[in-house]
Amino acid sequence: MFNIKEIAKSFLVSLWFMFLTFPIMVIRVNTIYKTIEWRWKNLIMIGAGSFLLSFVWRYFIKRKESGVKQAESGKEQKVPLFRRILEERKLFIPATVLTGLFALVFPFIFSSYQINIMTTALMYVILGLGLNIVVGLAGLLDLGYVAFYAVGAYSYALINYHFSLGFWTVLPVGAIMGALFGILLGFPVLRLRGDYLAIVTLGFGEMIRLILENWNEFSFGPSGIAHIPRPGLFGIAMSLENSIIYLYFLMIAITLFTIFVVNRLQDSRIGRAWIALREDEIACQAMGIDKTKTKLTAFALGATWAGMVGVIFAAKTTFVNPASFTFLESAMILSIVVLGGMGSIVGVMIAALILILLPEYLRAFSEYRMILFGAIMVIMMVFRPQGIVANVRRTYEYHGTPSKNAK
C-alpha cells in the first residue's frame, strides 16, 4: 500500500513536469495577429498524466522489490507465463502447433505489405540468434555486427554483377565471407574485453561502411548496386506477389534451420566453452579451454549467419547501398539480444518480432511512435533487466557416491 509520502513524491514529480513543459505546452505565440494563447488545459493534462504515471511506476517498483525479497528469503514465486509454456509439455506443444499453423496460413490471409514486414522480422530473428552466439553465449560485446551483414549483401550484389551468379550459388559464399571477416575481426581483439572490445568492434563496423561508401571503383559508392535478382525456384518465372510469398517460406525454413543449429551449438562442447568464457575468462583458461579458439569460433559462427542474412537482404530489396548498414542496425540487433534475454533462443525470437513489428504497426501514431518505442524499452529494462525469457543458469549438485549395496 502507498502512504502519504509516496503520494507526495508523485505530486512533486507532476509539478516538476508541469514546470519543465510550461513554455512549450502552455504558451503559444500567434505571430500573424501578435497575440499569446494560454493553453491551461494542456498543463492540467500533463500534471494529471505525470502524477498517474509516477504513481504506477512506484507501484511496480515496489512489486519488483518485494519479489526480490521473496527470492532472497526462499519463498516460492509465481512462474512467468513464458517459462511455464517452455517447461510444461502440455502447454509447449499446443503453442508450437498453433504458431506453426499461423505461420503457414499467414501469407494467404494478409497482404503483400504484411508478408514483407514479417519476412523482415524473420531476418532480424536470424541476425539476433547470430549475435546471441557472440554476446549472449560468449559474452563478447560486438557493436559492429552490421559489418558482416554488409559483407554478405555486397558479396551477392558484386558477384552477381560481375559473374551473373544466382542467389542459391552465392548464399553459401556470403556465409563463408561473413565467417572469414569474423575471424579477421577476432584476431585483433583476442586480448580485449568489455568497453575496449566494444570500441574496436564499433570502429570495425564503421570502417566497412566507409570503405563501401568511398571506394567507388569497387562498391559503386553511395549510389549502390541495383537490379539484384530475387531468389529463384528451378528457373520458374514468378510474379512479384508469388516471389514475396516464396521468400517468406524460405525465411521460415532458414529460421528453423538456424534455431536447430544454434540450439545444438549451445548444448555442445564449444557452447559450454562459450558460457565458461562469459562467466570467468581467467577460470576458463585455467581449466584448459583454448581461449583463442573459443573466441574466434564465436566470432566466425556469429558472423556466418549475418553474412547469410545479408545475401537474403540483397535479394529481397534488389538494391544495396552503404546507408542500409549504419550503427543503428547494430544497435537494433543488440537490443533484440538484450531485450529477449542473453543466451535465450526463444527470448531473442520474441524480442525480434516485437522490435521490428511494433514500429510498423504504430505508424498510426507516427508523431509519437518512436517515443512509445523508447518508453517500452526503458520500462522493460527497469522492470525486467534479465530479458523477456531469462536464460536459466545451469547448476550442478554433488550428492555423493552411491553405495555398492544400493539397488
- Per-residue pLDDT at 132: 92
Distances (CA, A) of 214 to 160, 207, 222, 270, 314: 21, 11, 7, 39, 20
Mean pLDDT to the nearest integer, 193-222:
89
- Per-residue pLDDT at 233: 80
Q: Which of 354, 117, 320 is nearest to 229 (CA)?
A: 320
In the structure grid, which three cell numbers stand for residue 280, read together? 570467468
pLDDT band (50, 70, 90) for residue 382: confident
DSSP calls for 256-322: HHHHHHHHHHHTSHHHHHHHHHHH-HHHHHHTT--HHHHHHHHHHHHHHHHHHHHHHHHHHHSEE-G
Number of alpha carbons in the 13 Å side-chain half-sphere of residue 204: 27
Q: Give CA–CA dist 160/169, Å, rounded.
A: 10
pLDDT tens digits, residue range 7-57? 788 888 888 888 888 887 788 887 787 788 888 888 888 888 888 888 777
Return mean pLDDT, the chain: 83
First to last CA, the chain: 55
- Per-residue pLDDT at 396: 55
pLDDT tens digits, residue range 48-64? 888 888 877 777 777 76
Q: Give CA–CA dist 235/265, Å, rounded.
A: 35
Asked if 386 and 375 count as a contact pair (C-beta separation under 8 A), the reply is no
pLDDT tens digits, residue range 280-301? 888 888 888 888 889 999 999 9
> Which residue is listed with cell 570495425?
204
Mean pLDDT to the nearest integer, 369-390:
74
pLDDT at 254 over 80: yes
Q: Give CA–CA dist 28/42, Å, rounded.
A: 11
184 residue type, one letter: L
pLDDT at 401 over 80: no
Domain boundaries, the chain: 4-73, 110-383
pLDDT at 2 over 60: no
> Which residue is listed with cell 516485437?
354
pLDDT tens digits, residue range 219-252? 888 888 998 998 888 777 778 888 999 999 999 9
pLDDT at 315 over 90: yes
- The residues near 315 (Cβ < 8 Å, ≥ 6 apart) are 156, 167, 228, 229, 230, 231, 247
Beta bridge partners of 38: 27
Percent of the chain's residues with pLDDT above 70? 86
pLDDT band (50, 70, 90) for residue 404: low
- DSSP, res 398: -
pTM for this prediction: 0.80
* CATH class for the domain made up of 110-383: mainly alpha
- The residues near 78 (Cβ < 8 Å, ≥ 6 apart) are none
